[in-house]
Amino acid sequence: METSDKKVKSTHSRTAGTWFKDFLSTIGGFFVRLGKGIVNFFIDTGIAIKNTFVNLWKMIKNFFVSVYTHFVKGGWRTKLSHFIMGSGQMSMGRPIKGIIYLLIQVAYFIFMFVPGGGLAWLIKFRTLGEVAVEYMAECTWPPGAPIEDCDPDFITYEKPIFKDNSLLIMLFSVATILITVFFIVMYFVQVHGTFKAEKAYNEAKAKYELAKSEGSEEAFKNPLPKFTDELKSLLNERFHFTTLSLPAITLTMFTILPLVFMILLAFTNYNRDTAPPNKLFTWVGLDTFKNLFSTKGASATNATFGSAMVRILKWTFTWAFFATFTNYIFGLILAMIINRKSIKLKKLWRTIFVISIAVPQFVTLLLMNQLLKEYGPLNETLLQWGWISQRIKFLDDPVLAKITVIVVNIWVGVPYTMLLTSGILMNIPTELYESAKIDGAGPVRQFFQITMPYILFVTGPYLITQFIGNINNFNVIFFLTGGGPSTGIPGVPYGHTDILITWLYALTVGGAHEEYAIGSALGIFIFLISATITLVLYSRTSAAQSEGDFA
């Protein structure tokens, strides 16, 4: 009997040891694959950037080669369309299409060369303006009198005349460049279209002349489609062009234009001291990025953008990690508890937790902010009950504030994970568990061998989304602590619970700092972090590698 017990204990010991080794091997393998994925990502990114510039150069080169080839090999109609858009189309019996092209050319040249038009903005784009404001001489007494007739004691220079505005110059210059790109595309399309149409038109004309010389009396039939036929094609074979045109235009106006504008701001010195309309900002190249990442001059009594960035970046990743995985783990545990067969009133428990989702998040966070203040209801209640002897600084102590935001985030986020994983748990095939029981697998081994792989397979992309979302989780930090408590270090201000996105807000529109160029550079940095992590982690998930086949 003792021998049997020893064998059982030995078996359990080996099983536990094997499980622990498998667990360490899995964790180690994950980090090894993650490291390789990050290295490969940066290598692939470098290759992609190089290929982008190479392909851009090839595209520009092919454009000029194609235009030149069309000019050399094309007939007189194609050659004429190089100078007057639509003229070749009109000469081949397509007046409406030709007039549309001609109107595009006329509108572009009017836009570019009219006083104050596109060319004027592009000329100022190099310096972003010369003079921001001038003050005109004005006679105060008698009011409105000519300056030459005014007593010098009553001449003031207080009436401002605003000249250049760096923001408008940059905005309209970028818009002009995008309009020019659109015009170049339309120019190439009409030249290429005229070249192809002229070829078909000349072939039909040659056949007609040959038939006419042989005595045929049939009238010449234009082989090119009529304008009405082309309109009909927009609802058939070219319907994609019809449906995508408006979204492409709105995307350009409200996404691409602001995005390019924001990126360009990062290469300027735009801040409170150079803000239009009274001041001008100018190009500074990479100095903004150097300023953002520089730790030169940083000390315990002085903060620079670089030193603040390092501290905030560490906390941002710490916050994102704990905010993501605490919600995920506790949500999964809650779902497994509710889904147990022995639990009664499953729908009631789910409903109770779902109610917290129904309340707007910012309302919950503001309520928690008031509840957890030093002189808030929670401290008052605990003092009256005698559970504490002094007030707990949930939001004012640097360490406690960080713990508080993580704990409150658990309360806010766990119900979402619970709902998600509940549906997945109910869809795991019971045959897998039955087979595992037959093979002698206990509850722990079933969880790590069946439940977790199945859930991770489905929720892998969700975890990545949550992690990136928590890196940019503005609501929890802003409404709960406002980024505080303040570090109190002179120089660049920031709070102990500030993450990158809340710091960006504080540097730009959230206070009196108005560091717009730094904010733009910081926004680019946040985007690069988010894009890198998303692409690296998603490529590592089983959902991406197995292409939807769970095994």
Instruction: Say what the pLDDT of residue 6 is.
Output: 47
Give me the percent of the chain exceeding a pLDDT of 70: 87
Q: What is the DSSP string of 415-454?
A: HHHHHHHHHHHHTS-HHHHHHHHHTT--HHHHIIIIIHHH
Torsion of CA 292, 293, 298, 300, to 10 degrees: 90
Instruction: Say what the pLDDT of residue 37 is.
Output: 63
Q: How many CA atoms lie within 13 A of 230 on its CB side?
A: 7
Q: Which of 114-123, 131-140, 402-411, 514-523 is predicted least confidently?
A: 131-140
Q: Do 166 and 282 meet the contact criterion of CB atoms below 8 Å apart?
A: yes
pLDDT, tens only, 144-164: 667 666 777 666 766 678 889
Q: Do 463 and 455 meet the contact criterion of CB atoms below 8 Å apart?
A: no
Q: Do 253 and 261 meet the contact criterion of CB atoms below 8 Å apart?
A: no
Output phi, psi for 135, to 5 deg.
Answer: -105, 120
**55, pLDDT greater than 90:** no
d(CA 508, CA 468): 22
Range list of β-strands (E), 88-238: 133-139, 155-162
pLDDT band at residue 165 under the 50/70/90 scheme: very high
Instruction: Say what the pLDDT of residue 138 is.
Output: 72
Nearest to 135 by CA among 107, 155, 113, 115: 155
Nearest to 356 by CA among 270, 291, 418, 310: 418
Q: Do 504 and 416 meet the contact criterion of CB atoms below 8 Å apart?
A: no
The token pair at 245 is 């045109």
pLDDT band at residue 4 under the 50/70/90 scheme: very low
Q: Which of 324-328, 417-421, 523-527 is predicted least confidently?
A: 417-421
The amino acid at residue 241 is: F
Maximum alpha-carbon separation in the chain = 124
Q: Do 207 and 298 meet the contact criterion of CB atoms below 8 Å apart?
A: no
Instruction: Say what the pLDDT of residue 518 is.
Output: 92
pLDDT, tens only, 189-235: 999 999 999 998 888 888 888 887 877 777 788 888 888 888 888 88
CB atoms within 10 A of CB 482: 17
For residue 159, the cross-strand partners are 136
Average pLDDT, the chain: 83
**19, pLDDT greater than 60:** no
**33, pLDDT greater than 70:** no
The token pair at 251 is 């995307």
Would the pTM count as exceeding 0.75?
Answer: yes
**10, pLDDT greater than 50:** no
pLDDT, tens only, 247-286: 888 888 888 898 899 999 999 999 888 888 889 999 999 9
In three-state secondary structure terms, 236 is coil
d(CA 493, CA 56): 42
Q: Which of 180-189, 296-305, 416-425 tops mean pLDDT?
A: 180-189
Q: Which of 216-225, 241-250, 405-414 tops mean pLDDT?
A: 405-414
Mean pLDDT, to the nearest integer, of 62-80?
A: 86
User: Which residues, 6+ apart, have CB-to-CB distance to 95 below 8 Å?
Assistant: 89
CB atoms within 10 A of CB 71: 15
Instruction: Say what the pLDDT of residue 9 is.
Output: 44
User: Which residues, 6+ apart, have CB-to-CB distance to 413 below 8 Å?
Assistant: 323, 327, 331
Peptide bond into 377 cis (omega under 30): no
d(CA 227, CA 172): 35
Instruction: Say what the pLDDT of residue 548 is.
Output: 47
Nearest to 197 by CA among 89, 83, 63: 89
Q: Do 443 and 371 meet the contact criterion of CB atoms below 8 Å apart?
A: no
Nearest to 75 by CA among 189, 200, 185: 200
Tokens 């990442």 -> residue: 293
Q: Do 379 and 395 meet the contact criterion of CB atoms below 8 Å apart?
A: no
Q: How many CA atoms lie within 13 A of 321 on its CB side?
A: 6
Mean pLDDT, to the nearest integer, of 62-66?
A: 82
Exposed, middle or buried by CB within 10 Å (0-12, 13-18, 19+), for 19? Answer: middle
pLDDT, tens only, 90-126: 999 889 999 999 999 999 999 999 998 999 999 999 9
In three-state secondary structure terms, 267 is coil
Q: Which of 58-62, 204-208, 233-237, 495-499 tops mean pLDDT?
A: 495-499
